[in-house]
Amino acid sequence: MRQENFMREAIKLADEGMRDGHGGPFGCVVVRRGEIVGRGNNRVTSANDPTAHAEVTAIRAACAQLKTFQLTDCELYTSCEPCPMCLSAIYWARIPTVFYGNTRTDAAAIGFDDDFIYQQVALAPEQRALKMQPLLPSEAIATFKAWAAKSDKVRY
């Protein structure tokens, strides 16, 4: 398949998911060596899960199929520029290349707050609309120290 065909599949998943009432108008495929290994569409409202974005759903499907938590030899095709959460998931999955259709500005124009979140992430924690406050850091650090000393940890 050509890159355009993978993007068309992502757009088709977005359209189908929206029309079937699964959630917002977003679709995604993960591709490895020219084959789709994960598909997803937005399922936020149907699953009552704010993390069930198309990219996260497709990454979960690809990881399950390939039995790995790193997708270093994959590409991701998504119908819209990933939101900050999805972008982070893509980084965590180690996917090196992303193709997208619509932009975050296009998403904002139809009522999605991706661009607002992008703006918030760039701010210092004390400047964000979301109140963030450290609590018990001297106790929480013990688990980090145990992880650092753990000899059989699986790095990611």
DSSP structure string for 98-134: EEEEE-HHHHHHTT--HHHHHHHHTS-GGGSSS----
55 is catalytic: yes
CA angle (11 as vertex; 96, 85 as ends), nearest 5: 50
Distance CA 102, CA 24 (A): 13
Q: Which of 9, 55, 75, 81 is catalytic?
A: 55
Beta bridge partners of 97: 75
Beta bridge partners of 76: 30, 98
The residues annotated as belonging to the active site are: 55
